[in-house]
A and B are shown apart, each in its own frame.
Chain A
Amino acid sequence: MSNRPPATNWSTDFDHLDSRWSENPYPIWDELRQTCPIAHTDRFMGAYFPSRYEDVRAIAYDTEHFSSRRVVVRETRTSLPPAPPITSDPPAHRPAKQVLLPAFTPEMISRHEPRTRAICRELLARIDGKDGCDGAVDYAQEIPVRVIAHMLGVPEEDADQFRKWIKEILEIGVTDIGVLLRAQGEMIAYFAEKVAARRASPGEDLISYLLSSRVEGRALSDEHIGGTLRLLMIAGIDTTWSAIGSCLWHLAQHAQDRRRLATEPDLMGSAVEEFLRAYAPVTMAREVVKQTEIGGCTFKPGHMVLLSFPAANRDPAMFPDADRVIIDRAQNRHAAFGLGIHRCIGSNLARMEIRVALGEWLARIPEFRLDPDRPVTWSVGTVRGPRRLPLLLGA
């Protein structure tokens, strides 16, 4: 994003694609919370940025004034095919979500735990014994993509293609419309072919599940199924990959947390929640469709809202010592998976993947640290996490 004019003022000209924002957004958000809790920019054809938990919550709950028909802040207001239920508003949202929910309960997700554990062990077997590795490239990025491929019943070998589409849709395509539309078109064609194959020969996978699902007695349209499949793939991969990477990034730098987690596995539950709070990867968006006022700010129709659950999670009014990672934090109403009707449908899947990925890593590699000679790099935009995470392994 080096060709963009740098943001001159975070309150009136913020740019979440600015490298200062993607590399370390927390001081920027702290400053905004104190000086201008709902910032605005004329970039992106107009967008707001609320940084307080209470305002993020109010907007997430207000589906009358804030629509989900656009969930990514882009340079232009491109019209994309819907991906229900994430792009659905009431009343269409509820049936589109209900149809998916039974496949994503903790009980159903636990069936994918053995495969997830096997993937982690396979990756660790390649890493173990080396002096160093890239925790993002060699480990984190490989786990969710293979698990979601397994769930959808598509080849795990297509992982590189999936990651390429996601980067094109969520990063490059934010400013390059041609890349966005091409990636969308390729994904639509990919899933149309998979759906046709499953229709002819159903299996135990999510594509077959969607084909056999009925909403109010009717089968889902091909357009609906394709949109949902694109959503599951896009939302299920770099989100959790980012979360696992951020956990490793934290643990590489905090020996006390690393050793406590390795020796007290009962802490894993609260630690995962705390990592999700402190390093929440996903920032969604809404489009203002009716003028309203929240937190003393007038929201004008046509402008977007960057709905930053990561910023809400760092609000000291909601979380004491918000900038400290406390792996046994007892009270943690974090918003990493959103609030209200759009609560992430994959939250139980993500939690399982993060828990298994960290548990397996620490069992095999209890000691590791950042490689001081090679930089960590971060993704830009909707999903934030390390994309290069060079580590030195062993004590």
Chain B
Amino acid sequence: MAPKLLRVKVDRERCQGHARCFALAPELFALDEFGNGRERGDGLVAATLEDKARLAQANCPELAIEVTEE
């Protein structure tokens, strides 16, 4: 069985720009010119950054970060 890959995605409708994801996992998230969060690139998470992806999700006050396994 192939190892599972994690993917992060910011729900742009829910995001209010608290910027917690960027503070905790800048490798995975960036901010736009308004300070709202978005995933970097295609959102795929390197194995070494999985904990950071979960940490960002656990600290988003708006529940705007989805972490999916594929």
Contact = CB atoms under 8 A, between A and B. Distances in A.
A330 B61 contact: no
B17 A334 contact: no
Nearest to A269: B23
B19 A333 contact: no
Interface in B1-59: 16-19, 22-24, 31, 33-35, 55, 58-59
Contacts of A203: none
B17 A101 contact: yes
B66 interface: no
Given A98-B34, A102-B33, A105-B35, A340 B59 contact: no
A106 B34 CA distance: 10
Contact of A330 (B18, B33, B58): B58
Interface residues of B, number: 18
Contacts of A322: none
A341 interface: yes
Contacts of A273: 59
Nearest to B35: A105
Chain A residues touching B, majority SS: helix
Interface residues of A, number: 22
A334 B58 CA distance: 11
A190 interface: no
Interface string A138-175: 00000000000000000000000000000000000000
Nearest to B33: A102
Contacts of B23: 106, 269
A102 B34 contact: yes
Contacts of B31: 105-107
Interface of A: 98, 101-102, 104-107, 269, 273, 330-335, 337, 339-341, 343, 347-348
Interface of B: 16-19, 22-24, 31, 33-35, 55, 58-63
Nearest first, the 6 A-B pairs at minimum CB distance are: A105-B35, A343-B16, A101-B34, A331-B58, A333-B61, A102-B33
